[in-house]
C-alpha cells in the first residue's frame, strides 16, 4: 500500500551556471536565470510503500512522517534562498529536478527495511509544472 503526505515550503532560487555566459544561461534556464532570484510555493508529495502493520493497521506513523518531513525539508527550505542558504545548492543548480533529488537524498534513510521504502517524491513548482523522482539514476 502507498501512503502520501504533502508538505509546502516557499523558497527562492536562481538557476545559473557560473561557467556559462549570460546569454547561455538565459538560453538554458530562461527567466529562471535572473541573477536576483525568484520564488515559488513549492509543494512536495512524499509517498511511502509498505505493508500495514497487523497490530497498528498503519504503513507508517503519520505523526512521525510529519516530523521527519518538517525536520528534513520544511525547516531547512522554507523561506530560504536555496542557492545561498541550503547546501548543496551553493554548488548544485537548484532546478526543480535537483531539489527533488535532494529531498529524496535527505529522506531515503528514514524508511529502511524490507516492508517499508520511500517510493517517490513529487515536487510541484506550480500547479502546472511538477517532477516525479523515484531514486533512479546515479546520485
Partner 1 sequence: MKLTRRYRFAASHRLHRPGWSEETNRLVYGKCNNPHGHGHDYLLEVTVAGAVDPDSGRVADVARLDALVQEEVIGPFDHANLNEQVPAFADLVPTTENLAVEIRDRLLRCWREWFPAGGAELEKIKLRETRRNIFELFVHDHENR
Q: Name the residues that contact partner 1, by CB under 8 A.
A: 15, 17, 28-30, 92-98, 100-101, 127-133, 136-137
C-alpha cell at 56: 497498528
CA-angle at 50, arms to 41 and 3, nearest 5°: 30
Start-to-end CA distance of the chain, whole Å, equals 26
Q: Residue 66: CB partners within 8 Å, gap ≥ 6?
A: 5
| Minimum CB–partner distance for residue 46 and partner 1 (Å) | 16
Closer to partner 1 by Cβ: residue 23 or 136: 136
| Minimum CB–partner distance for residue 112 and partner 1 (Å) | 23
Half-sphere exposure of 41 (CA within 13 A, CB side): 6
Closer to partner 1 by Cβ: residue 60 or 102: 102
| Minimum CB–partner distance for residue 129 and partner 1 (Å) | 6
Closer to partner 1 by Cβ: residue 29 or 81: 29
Instruction: Give one DSSP letter per residue of 94-116, joined into a string.
Output: --HHHHHHHHHHHHGGGS-STTE
Q: For the chain, how big is the Rg over CA atoms in Å?
A: 17
| Minimum CB–partner distance for residue 98 and partner 1 (Å) | 4
Closer to partner 1 by Cβ: residue 59 or 82: 82
Amino acid at each position: 500500500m502507498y501512503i502520501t503526505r504533502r508538505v509546502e515550503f516557499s523558497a527562492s532560487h536562481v538557476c545559473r551556471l557560473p561557467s556559462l555566459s549570460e546569454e547561455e544561461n538565459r538560453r538554458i534556464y530562461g527567466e529562471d536565470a535572473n541573477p536576483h532570484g525568484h520564488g515559488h510555493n513549492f509543494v512536495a508529495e512524499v509517498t511511502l510503500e509498505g505493508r500495514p502493520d497487523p497490530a497498528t493497521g498503519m504503513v507508517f506513523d503519520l505523526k512521525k512522517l510529519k516530523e521527519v518531513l518538517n525536520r528534513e525539508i520544511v525547516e531547512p527550505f522554507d523561506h530560504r534562498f536555496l542557492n545561498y542558504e541550503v547546501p548543496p545548492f551553493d554548488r548544485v543548480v537548484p532546478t526543480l529536478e535537483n531539489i527533488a533529488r535532494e529531498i529524496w537524498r535527505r529522506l531515503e534513510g528514514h524508511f529502511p527495511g524490507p516492508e517499508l521504502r520511500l517510493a517517490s517524491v513529487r515536487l510541484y513548482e506550480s500547479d502546472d509544472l511538477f517532477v516525479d523522482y523515484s531514486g533512479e539514476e546515479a546520485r
